Amino acid sequence: MTGQKEKEPLFSTKILRLLMTPINKGNPITVLVLGVCSSLAVTAKMKPAMVMAISVIVVTGFASFIISLLRNTIPNRIRIIVQLVVVAALVILVDQVLRAYAYEVSKQLSVFVGLIITNCIIMGRIEAFALGNKPWPSFVDGIGNGIGYGLILILVAFFRELLGSGTLFGYQVIPENWYIAQGGFYENNGLMILPPMALIMVGVIIWVQRSFNKQLIEK
């Protein structure tokens, strides 16, 4: 590889594959089963889920990028602590930005922004990919995994908010006069708001995905 002079185009098929794989075949939540805890905690409503997804995309992308830049200078023995420092710095940045520009959502997400540090997806991608690859592919890989995570988050939050609160992004979607209190027949599903339902939702998504994608089924 060192002798190669030819420059790879910025968006070669290889790079695109790095971006697309985590969205379906290598999805961090449904296939690798990483980062499940936060997906259960922040998906009761669309808005926090969206903000959380964007935060994680930013952190995974830049953490992979920075670690990849430093990969030849980090002593192998202390690499975990170096990775933690980088990730923690990025998370603090994201947290401060959220507090400044989206205070309400930041309060809703509370501790879960800080806990992005412990999100297994980030450390997993750094260890498995960024330490052995150039900065640009690492960055794309990080972004791709963040998007894969975010998509599942938003999908789960969509159903949980629609069925659990009758709203989407806080707007009433189910007509008011459907509700029993207004003389209708409908009632919000209280179970959807509770965390167990998020777990069941993720399970159902995994089920649906595997029935479409037979090669994901373990023998």
CA distance 194 to 205: 17
> Judged by CB under 8 A, does residue 200 bind other proteins?
yes
Query: Exposure of 10 by Cβ count < 10 A (0-12 exposed, 13-18 middle, 19+ buried)?
Result: exposed
Q: Which is nearer to other proteins, 170 or 203 (CB)?
A: 203
Q: 169, 190, 208, 213: which one contacts other proteins (CB under 8 A)?
A: 190
Asked if 175 interacts with other proteins (CB under 8 A), we say: no
Count Cβ atoms within 10 A of the Cβ of residue 133 and give its class: 0-12 exposed, 13-18 middle, 19 or more buried. middle
Q: What is the identity of the amino acid at 144?
A: G
Residue of the chain from 80, 85, 194, 208 that contacts other proteins (CB under 8 A): 194
Mask: binding to other proteins, 127-166, rule CB under 8 A, as x and -? ----------------------------------------
* From 99, 187, 195, 213, residue interacting with other proteins (rule: CB under 8 A): 187
For residue 162, give the amino acid letter. L
Q: Minimum distance between the CB of residue 181 and other proteins, rounded to whole angstroms? A: 9
**Which region, left, alpha or beta, applies to residue 205 given φ > 0 means left and ψ of -120 to 50 means alpha?**
alpha
Q: Which of 87, 123, 126, 192 binds other proteins (CB under 8 A)?
A: 192
**Cα 202 from Cα 9, distance rounded (Å):** 37
Of 128 and 180, CB closest to other proteins: 180
3-state percent helix, strand, coil for the chain, nearest multiple of 5: 70, 5, 25
Tallying the residues shown for the chain, one arrives at 219
Min CB(106)–other proteins separation in Å: 29
Q: Which residues contact 176 (CB under 8 A, 6 or more apart)?
A: 182
Binding track over 75-104 against other proteins, x by CB under 8 A: ------------------------------
Helices of type H across 2-71:
13-20, 36-41, 46-70
Stretch that binds other proteins, among 74-82, 95-103, 144-152, 199-207 (CB under 8 A): 199-207
Q: Does 203 bind other proteins (CB under 8 A)?
A: yes
